[in-house]
Amino acid sequence: MRSSQAARSSLAPGAVADRRPARQAVLQAPGCLEIRDFIPPRPAPGELLVEVKCALSCGTDLKTYRRGHPLFPTPTPLGHEFAGVVAEVGEGLKRFAVGDAVMAVPSAPCGKCFFCECGQENLCAQVAQRIVAGAYADYLLLPAHVTERHTFKKPPNISFETAALLEPLSCVFHAQDLANVQSSEAALILGAGPFGLLHLIALKARGVRKVAVAGRRSNRLKCARELGADWVVDIDREELAAAASRLNGGWGPDLVIEATGLVAAWEQAMGCVRRGGRVLFFGGCQPGTVVSLDTRRMHYDNLTLIAPFHFRPRDVLAALRALSEQALPGLERIIDARRHLEQLPEVFALLEEGAVLKCAIYP
């Protein structure tokens, strides 16, 4: 990932990126962030140099900032949810021109390996090995494998902020597709953070009969109500399993979506679902953690446990279509703060405090 962004340092005379100093946020070590000057690389054949117009904060970036991440060994640039304008086009790339507004996701599968041929492109080794990071910057280089499959012209009817939600929405769409969500069901979401609320919006757009959201922060539960949650549960005030059991006329939810990434919530999720129901373990836990599951309940209550990772190209296209058609009412509520690039340390402090859901970062 870093080699594709850092190996080329020369720019053509008069290139767009050479006309002003460029900055990039680099995580030197957990908790140590620097805004560095850098020379934007000239795109090789098939690549794009994008002037970032908006990047969004993300839970993965916060985890990386706190404790590091195996996919992003330090020092590493940060930021992978973004939208922008094409600044330079690599040779042979005909679909884009300088000045095009674009949106993208930061990875793409090879399309040839065992997992790709099985329709599980999210498990392709290239997805993790060649993921793009560095959107907290003035410019971002998109490698050919991303421009070929997962870069799109931004529809004029959506903002750069909304376009930057393509990647997290692709993850949500993938998860809900695996869960085989039905409109006749009742669902419970554990966690009222950004992903919990994105799941809520997507479920409501699917016409799911009843959606409850459980969380702790009153401001986030208030947001869940305003986004259409039929019921919210403050788990500091009410026992979660007892509250969940009241769904479906006392049988409990058909589907529980865990969206916190906490081991305790993974364990709670299976205790909340009805017999014959499904649990979607969406939130990624800290590496090395272990979850204790009630095997008797799993077996005799006929539970289905699902743990989605990342997304497939068809999920990206579904998310792109939903964004283009403005089919997800309330989406703009997820982005509740805006800061400039040099204020990025403040953004991470706000995320640590839970004071914001998603912050739009403008170079």
pLDDT of 80 above 90:
yes
How large is the average pLDDT for residues 251-272? 96
pLDDT of 331 above 60:
yes
Which pLDDT belongs to residue 18?
54
CA distances from 60 to 68, 241, 286 (A): 10, 28, 11
User: Cβ atoms within 10 A of the Cβ of 31, count?
Assistant: 12
d(CA 46, CA 312): 21
d(CA 142, CA 164): 15
How large is the average pLDDT for residues 263-279? 96
15 burial class (0-12, 13-18, 19+ CB within 10 angstroms)? Answer: middle
Which pLDDT belongs to residue 67?
83
pLDDT above 70: percentage of residues in the chain: 94
pLDDT of 314 above 70:
yes
pLDDT of 137 above 80:
yes
pLDDT above 90: percentage of residues in the chain: 88
Q: What is the pLDDT of residues 1-59, one digit of tens each?
A: 333 333 333 344 345 545 567 999 999 999 999 999 999 999 999 999 999 999 999 98
What string of DSSP letters covers 41-99?
A: PPP-TT-EEEEEEEEE--HHHHHHHHH--TTSPSSEE---EEEEEEEEE-TT--S--TT
Strand partners, 281: 258
Which pLDDT belongs to residue 19?
55
Pick the CATH number of 2-168+311-362 from 3.40.50.620, 3.90.180.10, 3.30.420.130, 3.90.650.10: 3.90.180.10
- If pLDDT is split at 50, 70 and 90, which confidence band does 73 have? confident
Which pLDDT belongs to residue 16?
59
Residues of the chain within CATH 3.40.50.720 domain(s) are 180-306
Q: Taking phi first (over 0 means left), then psi (-120 to 50 degrees means alpha), and beta for anything else, what does residue 94 get?
A: alpha
Residues of the chain within CATH 3.90.180.10 domain(s) are 2-168+311-362
Which pLDDT belongs to residue 76?
94
How large is the average pLDDT for residues 121-149? 97
What's the predicted TM-score (pTM) here? 0.93
Sign of the CA dihedral 229, 233, 236, 240? Answer: negative
d(CA 3, CA 76): 11
Higher pLDDT, 20 or 305: 305
Which pLDDT belongs to residue 179?
98
How large is the average pLDDT for residues 166-190? 98
Torsion (CA) 249, 255, 261, 266 in degrees, nearest 10: 70
What the block records as the tokens of 87 is 């600044």
Instruction: Decide yes or no: CATH 3.40.50.720 for domain 180-306.
Output: yes
Least confidently predicted of 18-22, 115-119, 240-244: 18-22
